[in-house]
Structure 1
Amino acid sequence: MPKDEQSDTSSTIKSSSSSDRKPATLRRKQLVDAISNDSFNDWYQEQQFTENILEGKPYFNGASPPPDSEKHSPSKLLQCHRKVRYYAENSPKEGDPPQGLFWVGSQFEEEIVVPYLLEAIATDETYVRNSMWIDTEIETNDGTVRLKGVTDPVIVDADGDPILVTEIKTTSSLDYLDGPKPHHKAQLHAYMYALDEEYDRSLQDGLLLYGGRDTLDISVFHIPFDERFWNKSVITWMQAQTQYRANNELPPREPAFDWECNTCPFRNRCGQTSAPFQDTGFTGLLTGFTDYREPNLREYFDAYPGAKLTPTLAHEYPVLAEQYGVYNWKCRGCGSTYAWDDVDVESDSPLCDRCAENNDLQTIVVLGPNEQNVDTP
């Protein structure tokens, strides 16, 4: 081959090789960018959505209607009344959902505790049920309250009747656990009381089993049914929560435990942070606030069909803006409205053009959460 032809071929090969590497680098960058916390949460949410349909529980995929004032979930007992009300009214949740904690707790119960109870604890005369439904009414001096929910594993007899109720919880480390937590104790009491009523059995004992997420060691507490604790703490709490619901009242900002505000998905709405919000009602999105995940927003819109996005969130979630609409900006002075995308959301104090023409400097705002009109279900 002539020298000049050989040179041309070499040049062609080198150019082709360089061209091939460029798309590979681009593909690699796209893969790196695609793997993120947001995409993982979206994928996991879709997995849960599909699984609920597969298991015949599509009702878990949307917002639950607010419960009757007298109905209570054992898992919410003794906790912050305001937080429980926010949950019940499907207020928009802030931040990322604690899916990891739920998943770890579920796996610990299903993959470790239930096999342990089946293989090491159950006898020839006793068996293990994964869970048992409860639905019982309790007459009190202030009226009727109702408990409805599902237990953790229960040791039963050959007829399937309960003998010993358990409540399974996971915690970051057993090193920080100095005894049964009151709200878990209340939850176990609710199961003992309800199953005793429904099966006419003398259920006076339960077990609280904590698993450490760091070591998978367990700590077990025997919980005898305590009549005084049940009446003075649990029944009293249910009566108070019933009254808040019956009166459609926002309970006082009084967390029952120190940890509640740190993990609460309504802490900005409530006023427990430096954000400029306080004692916000059950509906409406916080203006200028972006710490809402898309699944939580969809759940809120499912509960309140007339709700819309704020302009700030519309820029974050354009697809949701197309589906659900966006609140307009409004001038407090003349009442003029502006489309959400006609105003710079980064501006601290956008001015009304119409008022400015009359030398009247009026700022335009987005309706606050308590002013946003929503259709109640």
Structure 2
Amino acid sequence: MPPSNTNTETEPDHAVPKATRDTVIEAISNRGFSEWYDERQIEQNLLDGKPYFNGPSPPKPPDRHTPSNLLQCHRKAMYARQNAPREGTTPDGIFWIGSTFEEDIIVPYLQDVTPDGLYIQNSLWIDTTVVGDGTELRVRGATDPAVVTTDGDPALLTEIKTTTNVDHLTEPKPHHKAQLHAYLHALNDKHDHPVTEGLVIYGSRKTLDLRVFQVMFDPDFWQRVVDWMATQTAYEQANKLPPADPEQDWECTYCSFKHRCGQADTPYQDIGPEGLLPVFDGYDRDALVEYLDAHTDADARLTPTLAHTYPDLAAEYGTYDWSCPRCSETYAWDAVDWDGDTSDLPLCPACARENDLVTLSGPEPDTQPNTSKD
């Protein structure tokens, strides 16, 4: 009898079983990687003795400032300081590249070029106060690597940044210069020797080319920074949304809050720092979790739009109802037939029965903490 033509695949005895390979394949995904990376960061923060990095940062008091946020758009600064939900993708990759560039490349390089008798310290902590427009302002933060003596006294500060290309840079960016000035001012006040000089070092993420700028402390420039802090504090003490007035031309393009601000192609403008945009689906998962965890006391929840995008988060955090702006009827997020297309929102069933075609929406941002339901 001729052999059968039936094609039955068999694996050699030494092969990894297909079910095992499938398990590995299924595990390798964007979602799986994000969860793995987040867990890895939690473990590293605990190992470093910094458990406070494992939760959302609390909103900043109006008079407290962080060097990395100085001399930028006042409105963007308020959004960031008050934990407004970030739009788009969280730039974890850029942060990781910047940290790796500093720790694995620049620090060893500085150690090799620093002369005998001087050393490199990863960072120096500052906590200082200044007076601006009659208001006492507090500045807290940690420097980038510094050249220090054997006693840990600073001899030269650095501010290290990564960018796509360094060829176009002819001077340090003002907000990076402001950051370095905050460190210089604080450490100069703390030590009995002058601390008035630093380097802003830019590294290309593509080529590893460096562009280095020597910066001397400039009292006039520092006064500009102090005035900026005083203005920011005044806006927040008055609970007033600052104007959309960026310090740099490029800020709006790369801003994580441009939709709620009104600098994008969505029907929102001048929205305060609280709440999610009603029918906006441009928040990524990590940004949503960060926002929701930071606002647990306000019982923050997902909008119906976002519940369709992230049903697992809806089950964990809860969801606001759809609401009709005409008849005020409300509907559970999954009780209305909708395909998830934000350009074609669902109609209010009650109004539709009266031949009135009105689209549903989520609650407005400033009412969300008061409209959540059990």
State the TM-score, normalizing by the size of structure 1: 0.88
The answer to whether the 8 Å contact 1:283/1:374 transfers is no
Judged with a 3 Å threshold, the aligned counterparts in structure 2 of structure 1 residues 364 and 213 are, in CA distance, closer, same or farther, namely: closer
What is residue 113 of structure 1 aligned with on the other side?
A: 106
Alignment counterpart, residue 183 of structure 2, candidates 170, 186, 191: 191
Once the 2 structures are TM-superposed, how far is the Cα of residue 374 of structure 1 from its aligned partner?
Answer: 5.6
Distance 2:265 2:73 in 1: 20
What is residue 306 of structure 2 aligned with on the other side?
A: 313
Alignment counterpart, residue 131 of structure 1, candidates 104, 111, 123: 123
Post-superposition CA distance 1:268-293 (Å, at most 9, x none): 11111111111111111112222212
What is residue 232 of structure 2 aligned with on the other side?
A: 241
What is residue 97 of structure 1 aligned with on the other side?
A: 90
User: Which letter maps to 1:368?
Assistant: E
Once the 2 structures are TM-superposed, how far is the Cα of residue 39 of structure 1 from its aligned partner?
Answer: 4.0
Distance 2:31 2:169 in 1: 33
Structure 2 residue 80 is matched with structure 1 residue 87: yes
Structure 2 residue 364 is matched with structure 1 residue 368: yes
Structure 2 residue 67 is matched with structure 1 residue 74: yes
What is residue 207 of structure 1 aligned with on the other side?
A: 199
Taking only aligned residues, the RMSD between alpha carbons, in angstroms, comes to 2.6
Once the 2 structures are TM-superposed, how far is the Cα of residue 217 of structure 1 from its aligned partner?
Answer: 2.1
Post-superposition CA distance 1:154-212 (Å, at most 9, x none): 11112111111111111211211111111111111110000111223311211111112
The answer to whether the 8 Å contact 2:132/2:229 transfers is no
* Number of equivalenced pairs: 363
What is residue 278 of structure 2 aligned with on the other side?
A: 287
The answer to whether the 8 Å contact 1:75/1:187 transfers is yes
Post-superposition CA distance 1:200-257 (Å, at most 9, x none): 33112111111122221222211111011111x1111111111111111111111111
Alignment counterpart, residue 164 of structure 1, candidates 143, 151, 156: 156
**Greater share of helix:** 1
Taking the TM superposition and a 5 Å limit, the aligned residue runs for 1:27-66 are 35-66=28-59
User: Which letter maps to 2:139?
Assistant: L
Distance 2:214 2:324 in 1: 62
What is residue 278 of structure 1 aligned with on the other side?
A: 269
Once the 2 structures are TM-superposed, how far is the Cα of residue 28 of structure 1 from its aligned partner?
Answer: 7.8
Once the 2 structures are TM-superposed, how far is the Cα of residue 34 of structure 1 from its aligned partner?
Answer: 6.1
Once the 2 structures are TM-superposed, how far is the Cα of residue 26 of structure 1 from its aligned partner?
Answer: 9.6
State the TM-score, normalizing by the size of structure 2: 0.88
Distance 1:289 1:27 in 2: 40
Judged with a 3 Å threshold, the aligned counterparts in structure 2 of structure 1 residues 140 and 201 are, in CA distance, closer, same or farther, namely: farther
The answer to whether the 8 Å contact 1:307/1:374 transfers is no
Once the 2 structures are TM-superposed, how far is the Cα of residue 63 of structure 1 from its aligned partner?
Answer: 1.4
Once the 2 structures are TM-superposed, how far is the Cα of residue 37 of structure 1 from its aligned partner?
Answer: 4.1
The answer to whether the 8 Å contact 2:162/2:205 transfers is yes
The answer to whether the 8 Å contact 1:195/1:201 transfers is no
Post-superposition CA distance 1:60-111 (Å, at most 9, x none): 1221111121111111110111111111111111111111211111111111
Once the 2 structures are TM-superposed, how far is the Cα of residue 36 of structure 1 from its aligned partner?
Answer: 4.6
What is residue 269 of structure 1 aligned with on the other side?
A: 260
The answer for unaligned runs of 5 or more in structure 2 is none
Distance 1:169 1:277 in 2: 33
Distance 2:96 2:35 in 1: 16
The answer for unaligned runs of 5 or more in structure 1 is none
The answer to whether the 8 Å contact 2:200/2:213 transfers is yes
Aligned-residue sequence identity (percent) comes to 49
The answer to whether the 8 Å contact 1:327/1:366 transfers is yes
